A and B are shown apart, each in its own frame.
Chain A
Amino acid sequence: GNSVTQMEGPVTLSEEAFLTINCTYTATGYPSLFWYVQYPGEGLQLLLKATKADDKGSNKGFEATYRKETTSFHLEKGSVQVSDSAVYFCALVSGGYNKLIFGAGTRLAVHP
């Protein structure tokens, strides 16, 4: 079946550090890939997405590239801020009915 595996957290960084959160997936067909972010006490917000191989999704300084050969969609940001502290979820949709399959989430804590 379809699944998403994310690196375990928490990830703790100092402000302006480089961020990578690893995400790999298993899916039949050609999934669409997403990163969602959940700030403390809030719902999920779509951060970025990619719908086909080699697509790069980007938003708010975050980037992720759809790598079919390694079945990966790693999230990166060159310089994190304290306001980026949140839980980040990698997810995919494959097949019909638009069913989102989420990874376990990775908590990011950024310190001044």
Chain B
Amino acid sequence: DTAVSQTPKYLVTQMGNDKSIKCEQNLGHDTMYWYKQDSKKFLKIMFSYNNKELIINETVPNRFSPKSPDKAHLNLHINSLELGDSAVYFCASSSSRGTRTYEQYFGPGTRLTVT
């Protein structure tokens, strides 16, 4: 009954490779997010989708491409991986219905290590 799940949990790969991280939520939410947490624990939003439409696109290299096949899934594809991409990537989801403040529920994270 996991609310927000991510796969894989760990990803070790070499520079220059292309990799994807998948996220799924079973909360019935219509908005999903990707956050990056660096080695100093600093968290920053990367992207957000609402009803499969991209609504937040922060200053992120275009090697990163999110894709939302449906409201329950948000994937992150990274091309030509670089050492600086090593981080923990968190997926989150929320509902845009109801109250003004939309709590975000986070997945367990994917630790990406680029060697």
Contacts and interface: CB of A to CB of B under 8 A. Distances in A.
Interface string B80-114: 00000000001010101001111111111100000
Contacts, number: 57
A93 B90 contact: no
- By secondary structure, the A interface counts as strand
Given A32-B101, A102-B43, A105-B41, A97 B106 contact: no
Contact of B104 (A38, A46, A51, A104): A46
B56 A102 contact: no
Given A93-B101, A104-B40, A44 B90 contact: yes
State the main secondary structure of chain B at its contact with A: strand
A98 B42 CA distance: 19
Given A99-B56, A102-B42, 15 more contacts: A32-B100, A32-B101, A36-B106, A42-B108, A43-B90, A43-B106, A43-B109, A46-B105, A87-B41, A97-B55, A98-B102, A100-B33, A100-B45, A100-B104, A102-B44
Interface of B: 4, 31, 33, 35, 40-45, 48, 50, 55-56, 90, 92, 94, 96, 99-109
Interface of A: 32, 36, 38, 42-46, 49, 51, 87, 89, 93, 97-102, 104-105, 107
17 contacts: A32-B100, A36-B106, A42-B108, A42-B109, A44-B43, A44-B92, A44-B106, A51-B100, A89-B43, A93-B101, A97-B50, A97-B55, A99-B56, A100-B45, A100-B104, A102-B43, A107-B41
